[in-house]
Amino acid sequence: MTRMKNKPELLAPAGNMEKCKIALRYGADAVYLGGKMFGLRAFANNFSIEEIAEAAAYAHGLGKKVYVTVNIFAHNEDLARLPDYLLELQQAGVDALLISDLGVWNVARQTVPEMPLHVSTQANTSNWAAVQAWKALGAERVVLARELSLEEIREIGARTDVELEAFVHGAMCISYSGRCLLSSYLTGRDGNRGACAQACRWEYSLIEKNRSDEGFDIEEDERGTYVMNSKDLCLIDHIPDLIEAGICSLKIEGRMKSIHYVATVVSVYRKAIDAYWNDPKKYQVPDEWRQELEKVSHRPYTKGFAFGKPGSDGQVYTTSSYEQTHDFVGIVLAYDADAKRAYIEQRNNVKNGEVLELLMPDGELFPLTLEDMRNADGESIDCAPHAQQKFSIVSDRALMPDSLLRRKVIC
């Protein structure tokens, strides 16, 4: 294996401006986000054109990039507004567009011919011939389908010379590359046009035609009724395999996740990529990284298709609920070195004297005791019970802005 000339990119989700900046602050090299139209996450907050321009300017100031999803499966009525939107994105300074529909691709090639285009995972590119075909159409990068094994990725990498991107962490869709009609059928919300209701996560019963008033629980191996509830992808152990297979961009799923999720997962994968790049032969995953990934809201983890098609252990049969070991309770807004006070915005009820855990954007992790809590008027308080209440604490240690405060969940 010839080592890649450039360090692999860490690509993070950005569901809104706060998440965008957090992802970049915690180590992402680039973020992907959706505008108010033409994207497949209609229920993320998403970005106006003005916000996209702001995000691009912020990223570029850090030497980083912003990619915008234009990856719906377009219908005729979607096309009328498309050229103007593409020109607006170009004017906003975005670095590339993610597209899945061939018609949208063709309009983009004609309207913004200098704009780099990436093939979205929704195009379900699962073989080297398809990658070559997309390159012939002008693709700078192809996001591979999630349904590929490492062996298949290696062959694609060996037989093509276009940039390859792959998901390494996050939710898995039960449908092939997200192509699903279930949400549309049950709710009228089209998952292929950005409005998925995640109907696959619901609990189902079996109804017999002549007994429509009787529902029977669907059981699989006597473990429950959630038959389409995939575990979450986690390939932290296989960063070397992915990079050596030819992946140049490692992608985290989660535009609808919290800033706690984005910051924590990005921080872990930043450390992983750096560790591999600094000494590939000594790459290993310390327990601390695994523990960090357990602290955020997630379903049990799986390696997905990395080593073949998932079996029954790739699903969660008993519940569609998430699990996590820690709650996100606050974010550091600023630190006054002269007064030795940290200014914090509450995200969950906290009390004076409480011992929390703090994660800084540089990846440092340590315990923090809330001491001498004061409200925004400088008055002493025993707790901060109000949503997003601002308060300060004394801290001899300088706390970086955007550091996150957590509390261990007591079961």
Cβ contacts of 142 within 8 Å, gap of 6 or more: 118, 119, 125, 130, 131, 134, 135, 162, 163, 164, 165
Write out the two tokens for 57: 């300017």
9-176+229-314 against 326-408: fold identical: no
Whether residue 22 has pLDDT greater than 90:
yes
- What is the per-residue pLDDT for 119? 98
**Least confident among 133-147, 300-314, 387-401:** 300-314
59-63, 193-197, 230-234: segment of lowest average pLDDT = 193-197
Q: Which residues contact 309 (CB under 8 A, 6 or more apart)?
A: none
Confidence of residue 1 (pLDDT cuts 50, 70, 90): very low
In this prediction, residues 338-343 reach a mean pLDDT of 98
Q: What is the CATH number of domain 326-408?
A: 2.40.30.10
Which pLDDT belongs to residue 222?
A: 41
What pLDDT is recorded for position 276? 97
Residues 318-331 have pLDDT tens digits of 555 668 999 999 99
pLDDT at residue 216 above 80? Answer: no
pTM given for the model: 0.86
Query: Tens digits of per-residue pLDDT, 62-72?
Result: 999 999 999 98
pLDDT tens by residue, 41-80: 554 568 999 999 999 999 999 999 999 999 988 889 989 9
Of 105-109, 171-175, 342-346, 355-359, where does mean pLDDT reach its minimum? Answer: 171-175
Q: Is the pLDDT of residue 204 over 70?
A: no
The confidence score (pLDDT) of residue 356 equals 98
Confidence of residue 224 (pLDDT cuts 50, 70, 90): very low
Tell me what pLDDT residue 225 has.
45
Mean pLDDT of the chain: 88
**Burial (CB count <10 Å: 0-12, 13-18, 19+), residue 146:** buried
Q: What is the model's pLDDT at position 307?
A: 87
pLDDT of residue 73: 85
What integer pLDDT is reported at residue 341 of this predicted model?
A: 98
pLDDT band at 220 (very low <50, low <70, confident <90, very high): very low
Q: What is the pLDDT of residues 126-167, one digit of tens each?
A: 999 999 999 999 999 999 999 899 999 999 999 999 999 999
Q: Is the pLDDT of residue 88 over 50?
A: yes
- pLDDT at residue 314 tops 50: yes
Between 50 and 182, name the one with better pLDDT: 50
Write down the domain spans for the chain.
Answer: 9-176+229-314, 326-408
Statement: residue 206 has pLDDT above 70? no
With bands split at pLDDT 50, 70 and 90, how would you rate the model's confidence at 182?
Answer: low
CATH T-level topology, domain 9-176+229-314: TIM Barrel (3.20.20)
pLDDT at 24: 98
pLDDT at 397 over 60: yes
